[in-house]
Structure 1
């Protein structure tokens, strides 16, 4: 295989988790496509033309245009191979890397290849043919290995879902070399048992057949490409996919079905038994107050993974217990404060008091993290006041970068005259540019009827503060103060 598959294989085995399932006593190990953050890469090997091209074009100069289509729509820009004019077969053996990543793919992702001839000059490019191949098979498994694609003459590659240039040849129309290559792919993937002496005989026979097919006149043009191979099979799974889907209307209509459909209203709800077990286990974990407790190497890795979660990801019960258990140890990690506060059960008064008392001991967090504490997730006044205190230490330039988000955060405050509102007004008095931006942000929010009252109150606070500031300056100039 080419170097790209080797690199991909190494990246996946160290950077993603592999999974396994047992069927009929045989273990099937696989990797989820959503876990592969590597760019999509493949190798354009060679183009074997048919006899028509050799007759019509005396000295063609060819290149291959490679395009990715996702759900029938082009994704990113096309990539071209270098020019080739040494005669049949036209061998590039060129690695092509696209901007898309494997985790971006869907089951309806296709690679479209168009072969062009530039022998007549750049202004008169001739379409030799096109072909399209689906990246996933019928089992939602990523295709790998070497593929021989049938090229449709004088047609650009069609990347639509109902493509008119399919590269896959039906079984009844496959030539012997195409059949052998498909079997070879299964052999490489381990789907065919390895028998040493017999494998050598078959390999030699396949090489002879391939050389003979290149010497003889071909009835169809073919493009040979090599897709990346991984240590295990890659199975499609969309990130954040919903597990519950709506029932088709045809199944609900009893007149069209002999089976009786019974709807379970408790599907997707919390299991009371599991919830009670989680609460009891949580209570035991909450009772641990060892200030010197340190996480093991395994727990340390789990904590670091939790800290890398995006802000919108909800923590499960085990993750919350882990953060609470090592809360004293995590006070030196400023990135852990927001995640720790997400693990707190704020409805528990004693637990909320412990969490609030621990905040001043924490390493001071960054301004970007403090912005998350002003979201609707955190309703505790002490937590929101701590976030405002972080912004009080920020410079005017840094504050202006987050001013719009801070203004929008006013709608999540409990009162109209909150600490956040007073902070924004007071900082605006010391900076004319900041005051101008704040005023216009508030004016825009006045058009939202659901929060107009809140922003009107803040706007009036700003206007009154500016007027008092101007009067003090005028009195100072007139010598009244």
Structure 2
């Protein structure tokens, strides 16, 4: 890097949490006199004793003068004359979320006086300096005695040391900062002498000031390059890397990505409300009509250009009969203009009624207007309970984007759930799992409270259950999962093989926890709330042989049958829950087009950050089947033999296998599901193939060079080979399913857009990139016929992929030795 070159990071590009280190407190605290219990007649304590202060620092982030996230605290420190924590603090907020006026408020508290905390003082520091660069290194902050840190703008507790207090030491500390940032050349022998001299100067300065001031030292560390503030909404284009040693200087332009004042003024004039009467009669020309139709075909993730927004606004009156145009029109509105926003809302009320899938787009973070979001909820009211359940997970996540805790969306979800126990159960779980989110916990908790109040007011129904009993049946689900967590801890402490753990599990269920064998009152199954479970069958319960030792539990049902569930602890299954929900939705979309591909959308429910329940489907992995039976056909012949049928099995069984293979091939391709191997491809006795374990989605894969879809040669051989009529039928089902799901691409993209704020790993890492990857999989630039050829090429590429076969062989060896 040349001397004239300035390299930097943009704050909006740093997807890391804000970190700093609370170092130490400098200065002498006033001694604290602690009264004892003996008083004289005058009411004054006769004796006092000195107490050593026990201090901690409370750190709170303020953005634009408002608190953001929950405050963090250091540990207590009471050792040595100089209070030193040297404790790293990591906030939940990321650097990309900071604004130019983000500041850190630090308050020192003393807890040595018992229950009553004593305020020592507070200080505040802006995270960006006057040059809009992130502050680095150690910062010495003036502590304001007896004042709590003030995060408002401007602050009343600025940490910057006043000029009249600055001395030689202040100048030297700035040089030390540069030294630590390696901006001053290091010479070991000279550095040692210098730092000794600095200690003497420091002692003399403290003696001169009489230690009358307190200072808090905070270390912000440093990154490889400077960090310059840039708003995440700006359209900043990075320059090409410099390859030659010329005198070109890379500088940061703070105006890049901001609105051009002249263009904005022209746009306002063009949209002047005085033209409203003229605009009513405007009709687009042929060229303009083609442009509008092209815009209406854009996916919901596409950002409109200024010209496109102007075109939609100009012909807004002629577009009112086109329901697909409403969401695009609302994206073209300048919501900061009160008059324009008012006219847009009036037109929205008179627009052709939009579909439910388009209403989901209006609940995304793009739309902040409460009126627009309320309109979307009105459209959602048209959906029946079955359809609403398909979107419930995303609608709960959409609460993050509401402007109030008791929003119209929250009230709608509670109102519909209070009359449907299945919706109520899932809503309660979806909301309670998000309580840990420090930013939106209050919002989710508010919805939980409203649901409880609404349920408790219900009158007895046909089955005689009143609201109180219904709510208690849902509360007992939480109690059950808590007991299962306790069982997993006890079983995990057992030393030995899996069989010993299974014996311990059955011993617990039959002995100490015998109340789980027969419940006092039936509990609604968390996975299927319409089913009442009455107890666990110890003899039919077991443990899977894996690192986390998940429980496989058999429950009795009130109808006299049984149902099996898997309980996992120590693994975040919210991503699995999302994928299985999408499989269930796509199965519904395919069946609406009279295409049943015999999918297996088993139930999954996250009951916490690292725990959850899964429906157990009797099946075997392809790895086991191929190991014991050598081929899939040999395994299916065991259950569905037919001498006259294809390959010695019934035609129905083979058709089921072919259809399920086609369905999951398409779905796993669209969702970009990775880490596919023969251990997470399962086969049921009736020929249905299905996938499990979705730890990698949206294109992520731990294996190098993964094929577009998981289609191993054993599956093709079970269809009679690449030249058979059954394999041709398989490809036909794939192409038909792909084109059907492409028609619902807007719905699927909208649902994933609503998950943008969730804590699901593969979405939270980069929501925009993930959604764009999903959009690419639909190939919206092709027509149906072109997509048939495209998907057939994908199938051929997946079957002929050699490297994945090598990886699969290595995986089998690893499993064998494990």
TM norm structure 1: 0.46
Higher relative contact order (CA closer than 8 Å, sequence separation 6+): 1
TM norm structure 2: 0.28
